Amino acid sequence: MTGEFTRWGGEILESMGVNVLDWGYYKIIGLDGTIFSRIDGLMILGMFAGCIAAELWANNIKIRMPQNRIRIVQALIGGALAGFGARLAMGCNLASLFTGMVFLSFHYMPSFLP
């Protein structure tokens, strides 16, 4: 996901006149195709469509603003830090946490029994 988001950012910068194809990351990955022709782009669009469908099905869509404006700044800074960290790690490792917890629980289960 982070790779596709980086491609989206590169496409936006390229549409603004910035030549990103000289940058190291885009030399390796490239900007071939569109959101609809790359499997990662389709996966992200499907994820967004699924989230919206679930919200519509639950009748739980509300547009609301936080009571404190500092929350908006905190959310933007936190999102930027999380995105930067995921990009440095070459992808999000949240799934690794959950699969590791499952593996750990099955692997060491006999040692926890009395």
* Domain-located, residue 46: no
Tokens 């910035």 belong to residue: 18
* Domain-located, residue 93: yes
Region at 91 (left for phi over 0; alpha for psi -120 to 50; beta for the rest): left
Domain count, the chain: 1
Average pLDDT over residues 57-77: 87
Q: How far apart are CA 87 and CA 44, in angstroms?
A: 16
Q: What is the DSSP letter of 79?
A: H
Average pLDDT over residues 1-23: 85
* Domain-located, residue 31: no
Contact 48, 8 (CB under 8 A): no
Contact 7, 38 (CB under 8 A): yes
Tokens 């988001």 belong to residue: 5
Q: List the domain range (segments joined by +) for residue 74.
A: 65-105
* Domain-located, residue 90: yes
Q: Is the pTM of this model over 0.75?
A: no
Q: How far apart are CA 13 and CA 88, in angstroms?
A: 20
Choice among 6-10, 79-83, 102-106 with the minimum mean pLDDT: 102-106
* Domain-located, residue 74: yes
Q: How far apart are CA 21 and CA 3, in angstroms?
A: 15
